[in-house]
């Protein structure tokens, strides 16, 4: 049992489930990353959390998994290629830690696919590009403020 204090559900609007983001290109930034073991235990993947920074879906999140340690060489090649695309998109060519890639705006290409296990629709990131390739996206360089530009 866990004590949850004086919580009153009458004082808080309930969360509603989110549908997947529509397919398209979104200005986003990596807001969290973590290395995790694969389900089978024979490798590890880098899980990346992206937050959409502008527009109707601002604040929504999408995730990608880069299986960079795996017995299947093609799986590793694809993951390393995606990591290279992310590094190029954010301008950090030799990150020492995944946090070096955090909070730098980039364009993510998002698709919608059907999960084979449940049939539910879900998002999948299909590509990465520098934010300068987006039309209608602000090209301003952030100031020295510690607050990210999309939070100002």
pLDDT digits (tens, 9 = 90+) for 56-109: 999 999 999 999 999 999 999 999 999 999 999 999 999 999 999 999 999 999
Nearest CA-CA partner of 22 in 130, 109, 89, 131: 109
CB atoms within 10 A of CB 106: 25
Cα distances from 61 to residues 18, 108, 110, in angstroms, run 10, 11, 11
pLDDT of residue 134: 54
- Tokens linked to 30: 């990596």
pLDDT over threshold 80, residue 45: yes
pLDDT of residue 140: 32
Q: Which CATH architecture has domain 18-132?
A: Beta Barrel (2.40)
Instruction: Name the H helices within the chain.
Output: 73-90
The residue behind tokens 């830690």 is: 97
- Tokens linked to 108: 């993510």
First to last CA, the chain: 40
pLDDT greater at residue 15 or residue 44: 44
Confidence of residue 38 (pLDDT cuts 50, 70, 90): very high
Spatial CB neighbours of 147, under 8 Å, sequence gap ≥ 6: none
Mean pLDDT of 141-147: 38
Spatial CB neighbours of 93, under 8 Å, sequence gap ≥ 6: 87
pTM of the shown model: 0.78
Question: Could you give the CA distance from residue 117 to residue 135 in angstroms, rounded to a whole number?
Answer: 37
pLDDT over threshold 60, residue 139: no
pLDDT over threshold 70, residue 29: yes
The torsion of the CA quartet 56, 124, 41, 74, rounded to 10 degrees, works out to -140
């Amino acid at each position: 049992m866990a004590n949850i204090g004086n919580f009153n559900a009458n004082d808080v609007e309930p969360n509603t489930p989110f549908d997947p983001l529509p397919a398209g290109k979104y200005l986003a930034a990596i807001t969290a990353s973590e290395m995790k073991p694969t389900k089978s235990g024979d490798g590890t993947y880098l899980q990346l959390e992206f937050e959409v920074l502008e527009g109707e879906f601002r604040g929504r999140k999408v995730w990608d998994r880069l299986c960079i340690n795996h017995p299947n060489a093609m799986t590793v090649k694809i993951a390393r290629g995606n990591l290279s695309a992310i590094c190029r998109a954010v301008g950090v060519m030799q990150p020492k830690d995944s946090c070096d890639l955090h909070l730098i705006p980039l364009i993510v290409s998002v698709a919608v696919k059907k999960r084979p296990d449940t049939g539910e629709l879900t998002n999948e990131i299909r590509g990465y590009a520098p934010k300068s390739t987006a039309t209608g996206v602000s090209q301003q360089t952030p100031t020295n403020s510690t607050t990210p530009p999309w939070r100002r």
